Amino acid sequence: MTSMKKQQNNSTHQPDFVFKKKNYVVMAIGLAVISLGFILMSGGGSDDPNVFNPEIYNFRRIRLAPTLVLIGFAIEVYAILLDPDKKESE
C-alpha cells in the first residue's frame, strides 16, 4: 500500500485545462474589442443638466460602438468553440 502511494506521488500529473493558449489569445482579442466598444459608447453628456446635447446621438455612439460590442461577443463565442488541436487544411 505504501509503495502505491509513493508511485502516485512520484508521477507528476499535469492538470487538463479546457482551453489552450490559442483560445485565450482569441478571448483576449474579443475582450479588447468589447472594451473598445464600451469606451466609444461613453461620453456625450452635457455639463449643464438643463441643456440638451445632441452629440449623444451621433454615429459613433448609436451605430459603431454597439456593433463593436456585438462583434466582440461573437469573437468570444468563437474562442470558446475553437478547437486549438484541429489542424488547418493546406
3-state secondary structure of 36: helix
Say which residue, 5 or 29, is predicted with more confidence: 29
Say which residue, 3 or 13, is predicted with more confidence: 13
pLDDT over 80 (residue 21): yes
Q: Report the 10 Å Cβ neighbour count for 81.
A: 8
Measured N-to-C along each axis, helices 21-41 and 65-81 cross at an angle, to the nearest 10 degrees, of: 170
pLDDT band at 13 (very low <50, low <70, confident <90, very high): confident
Give residue limits of the domains in the chain: 17-81
> Using one digit for the tens of pLDDT, what is the confidence trace for 25-73?
999 999 999 999 999 999 877 788 888 888 888 999 999 999 999 999 9
3-state secondary structure of 86: coil
